[in-house]
């Protein structure tokens, strides 16, 4: 009997992340604008607000003592940022117009040349670069490193960045978002208060901007609570990547398709890999696979390890040393999965959290930055005298729809879904869409929820390479290489059903790049216990796509990325 993860929904409801303010007024923290997430979207918003405050000090006064607060759940800005990445500089140019030049920003390099390869087990065939993927004039970046720089810019511009701070619930009062509540710190495994227990606080803000990135915790609660979710469900891919020091510089940006993914329609294995030079002495290599895959034994981490054994790729890493590892999901629903609206009373939504990602082009960072910039402008206008907040905030929606973000996403809106029909048909459909700039096929192809895919099991796992500790690595040592040193003695932050059919438990165990899930004892009636090691979690979000729910653990937990 075939199992679907969605048949075993997690014990969780979006309402858990909606709350009324509870702190006494003198204990709450008042800020002008509260931004959740110190990623490119959130920091772009903070930087833009800093510019506006400088230009118009009178309005700036209205924002109070702490005009802009940026909450970051990671240990520091950049700790939870992970991407390829090749960035289209458009968003940055608009953000820093007249203030900073591109050559003053910490990019890792320029795209000098690029190749797209179709791989088989032993060969690599160069294929023409699909038009959507051309990266001319684009910059290579370590998003983690770039995020640290953006955070410094935001702080110089007057924002208060608060790391190790989780936004646990959205504060809603009389139908309006009035701020967020931060998470407690110092609870033990059973939720008990430890000796250094520090409760969270209510942060009151006139406008809250959610820039939480993929699987945004408050974002999904808001979409549900305010009825903003789009018609089509969001879908995700899981990316697992490593950063290596290499002996010889890589001269080009490489994308691969084909092996080790299987083209057959039944597998639904959509994705590929990227290999980018990061400066002269480092290379980043990652495997990205859509989470609508159906083989329970698929492990993206192990596919990455397998990928590295390909002769063409092994050569690139020869004589090198792995420096860092990480994993994160990418929203892939694109245009058709966008929310109906991006604003609500007191609330604006940006970036990956609402799925502003161009899947065929593998780009989302410049959209995050642009959406953050536009959100900042709308939030600012709400402080101008005489403005009705409701119309002002919804002007953000208009601005987003008139921006290049919207045009780009609409053009490529059906490409990802095409690949649900297998690699070759998908490829053909995608080409058609590119050639017609999205006009054909007309209409919007629906997305299918990742958790609703029926599972089956093959012997795929038998070809995962045994880790040799030099080229290929096991999951635990990879978690170590993410910088993860999460405090163990804290409550479990993963919501899943703990007794499920064996195949589902095994799927989770293979899926998770950080080895959080383990198949425990069978209980005689076809189900097994699911064992957890939550402190391994690097908060990639894959579980949320595949039948469970990731909630944010204590602030400061998770990976400490620096060069991803």
Partner 1 sequence: MAKTLVFLEHHEGAVQKGSLGVLAKVDGAHGVVIGSGVRSIADGLGTLVWSADDERLEAPLPQPRVDVIAKLVADEGYDTVLFAQSVLAADIAAGLAARLGAGLNWGLIDFDGEKGRAPQLQDTVVVEVGWTSPVRLGIFRAGSLDAVALSGTSEVRDAAVELEDFSTLAEMVEQAHAEQQGPSIEDADVIVAGGRGLGQPENFSLAEELAKALGGAVAATRAVVDAGWYPYSAQVGQTGKTVAPKLYIALGISGAIQHKVGMQGSNTIVAINKDPNAPIFEFSDLGVVGDLHAIVPKLTELVRAKRGS
Partner 2 sequence: MKIVVCVKAVPDASAGRRMDASSKRLNRSGELTLSDFDSYAVEEALQIGGETVVLSMGPERAVDALRKALAMGADRAVLVSSDDLAGSDLLGTASALAEAIAKEEPDLVLFGQQSADGGGACLWAAVAEKMRRPAISQVSELTVEDSSITGKRQTEFGYDTIRAPLPAIVAVSDAINTPRYPSLKGIMGAKKKPQETLGAAAVDPGTTVLELSPPPARGDSVKIEDDGSAAEKIVEFLAEKRLV
What residues from 522 to 561 belong to the interface with partner 1 (CB under 8 A)?
531, 533, 535
The structure tokens listed for 163 are 């790391």
If binding is defined by CB under 8 A, does position 79 make contact with partner 2? yes
Residue 29 binds which of partner 1, partner 2, none (CB < 5-8 A, kind-dependent): partner 2
CB of 493 to partner 1, least distance (A): 14
Residue 208 binds which of partner 1, partner 2, none (CB < 5-8 A, kind-dependent): none
If binding is defined by CB under 8 A, does position 19 make contact with partner 2? no
Which one, of 374, 361, 333, lies nearest residue 52 by Cα?
374
If binding is defined by CB under 8 A, does position 66 make contact with partner 2? yes
Residue 66 binds which of partner 1, partner 2, none (CB < 5-8 A, kind-dependent): partner 2
Q: Quick one: 130 or 467, whose CB is closer to partner 1?
A: 467
Q: Pick from 111, 455, 479, 500: which binds partner 1 (CB under 8 A)?
A: 479
If binding is defined by CB under 8 A, does position 476 make contact with partner 1? yes
What residues from 20 to 49 belong to the interface with partner 2 (CB under 8 A)?
29
If binding is defined by CB under 8 A, does position 56 make contact with partner 2? no
- What character string, x for contact with partner 2 (CB under 8 A) and - otherwise, covers 186-225? x-------xxx-x--x-x----------------------
CB of 33 within 8 A of CB of 214? Answer: no
CB of 305 to partner 1, least distance (A): 16
φ/ψ (deg, to 5) at 200: -70, 175
Q: Pick from 22, 391, 454, 477: which binds partner 1 (CB under 8 A)?
A: 477
Residue 533 binds which of partner 1, partner 2, none (CB < 5-8 A, kind-dependent): partner 1
CB of 438 within 8 A of CB of 411? Answer: yes
Max Cα-Cα span within the chain: 70
SS3 298: coil
Residue 486 binds which of partner 1, partner 2, none (CB < 5-8 A, kind-dependent): partner 1
SS3 130: coil
CB of 109 to partner 2, least distance (A): 21
Residue 373 binds which of partner 1, partner 2, none (CB < 5-8 A, kind-dependent): none
Give the count of residues interacting with partner 2 (CB under 8 A).
Answer: 23
Q: How far apart are CA 559 and CA 540, in angstroms?
A: 10
Beta strands 527-532 and 517-522: pairing type? Answer: antiparallel
Angle of helix 404-411 versus helix 365-381 axis, rounded to 10? 140
Binding segment for partner 2 among 71-79, 114-122, 239-247, 518-526 (CB under 8 A)? 71-79
Q: Quick one: 292 or 554, whose CB is closer to partner 2?
A: 554
Strands, E assignment, 158-226: 160-162, 167-173, 176-182, 185-187, 193-198, 202-210
CB of 379 within 8 A of CB of 322? Answer: no
Query: Residue 426: in which H helix or E strand, if any?
Result: helix 423-435
Neighbours of 428 (CB within 10 A): 13
Report the helix count and the strand count for the chain, using DSSP H and E: 15, 26
Q: How far apart are CA 513 and CA 540, in angstroms?
A: 9
Q: Pick from 136, 281, 488, 523: which binds partner 1 (CB under 8 A)?
A: 488
Region for 415 from its dihedrals, namely left if φ exceeds 0, alpha if ψ lies in -120 to 50, beta otherwise: alpha
| Binding region for partner 2 (CB under 8 A) | 29, 66, 69, 75-76, 79, 160, 162, 165, 182, 185-186, 194-196, 198, 201, 203, 323, 483, 485, 560, 562
């Amino acid at each position: 009997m075939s199992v679907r993860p969605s048949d075993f929904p997690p014990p969780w409801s979006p309402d858990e992340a909606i709350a009324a303010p509870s702190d006494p007024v003198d204990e709450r923290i008042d800020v002008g604008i509260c931004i959740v997430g110190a990623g490119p979207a959130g920091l772009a918003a903070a930087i833009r607000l800093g510019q506006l405050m400088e230009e118009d000090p009178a309005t700036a006064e209205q924002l109070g003592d702490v005009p802009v607060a940026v909450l970051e759940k990671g240990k520091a800005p950049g700790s939870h940022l992970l991407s390829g990445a090749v960035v289209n500089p458009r968003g940055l140019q608009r953000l820093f117009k007249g203030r900073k030049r591109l050559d003053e920003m910490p990019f890792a390099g320029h795209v000098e040349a690029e190749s797209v390869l179709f791989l088989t087990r032993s060969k690599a065939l160069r294929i023409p670069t699909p038009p959507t993927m051309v990266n001319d004039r684009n910059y290579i970046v370590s998003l983690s490193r770039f995020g640290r720089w953006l955070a410094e810019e935001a702080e110089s511009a007057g924002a208060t960045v608060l790391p190790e701070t989780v936004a646990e619930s959205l504060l809603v009062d009389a139908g309006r978002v009035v701020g967020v509540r931060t998470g407690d710190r110092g609870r033990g495994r059973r939720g008990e208060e430890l000796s250094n227990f520090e409760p969270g606080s209510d942060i009151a803000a006139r406008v809250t901007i959610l820039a939480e990135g993929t699987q945004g915790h408050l974002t999904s609660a808001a979409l549900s609570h305010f009825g903003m979710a789009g018609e089509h469900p969001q879908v995700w891919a899981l990316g697992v990547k490593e950063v290596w020091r290499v002996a010889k510089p890589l001269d080009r940006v490489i994308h691969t398709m084909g092996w080790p993914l299987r083209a057959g329609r039944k597998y639904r294995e959509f994705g590929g890999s990227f290999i980018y030079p990061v400066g002269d002495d480092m290379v980043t290599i990652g495997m990205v696979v859509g989470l609508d895959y159906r083989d329970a034994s698929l492990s993206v981490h192990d596919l990455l390890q397998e990928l590295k054994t390909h002769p063409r790729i092994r050569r690139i890493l020869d004589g090198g040393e792995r420096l860092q590892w990480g994993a994160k999901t990418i929203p892939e629903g694109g245009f058709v999965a966008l929310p109906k609206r991006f604003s609500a009373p007191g609330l604006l939504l940006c970036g990956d959290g609402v799925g502003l990602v161009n899947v065929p082009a593998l780009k989302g960072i410049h959209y995050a930055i642009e959406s953050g910039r536009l959100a900042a402008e709308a939030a600012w206008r709400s402080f101008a005298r005489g403005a009705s907040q409701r119309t002002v905030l919804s002007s953000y929606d208009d601005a987003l729809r008139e921006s290049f973000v919207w045009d780009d996403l609409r053009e490529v809106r059906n490409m990802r879904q095409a690949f649900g029909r297998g690699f070759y048909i998908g490829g053909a459909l995608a080409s058609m869409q590119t050639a017609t700039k999205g006009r054909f096929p007309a209409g919007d192809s629906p997305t299918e929820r990742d958790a609703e895919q029926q599972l089956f099991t093959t012997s795929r796992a038998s070809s995962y390479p045994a880790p040799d500790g030099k080229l290929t690595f096991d999951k635990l040592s990879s978690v170590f290489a993410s910088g993860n040193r999460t405090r163990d003695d804290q409550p479990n932050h993963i919501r899943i059903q703990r007794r499920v059919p064996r195949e589902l438990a095994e799927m989770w165990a293979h899926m998770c790049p950080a080895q959080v899930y383990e198949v425990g004892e069978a209980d005689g009636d076809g189900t097994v216990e699911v064992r957890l090691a939550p402190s391994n979690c690097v908060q990639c979000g894959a579980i949320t796509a595949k039948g469970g729910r990731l909630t944010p653990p204590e602030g400061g937990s998770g990976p400490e990325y620096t060069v991803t």
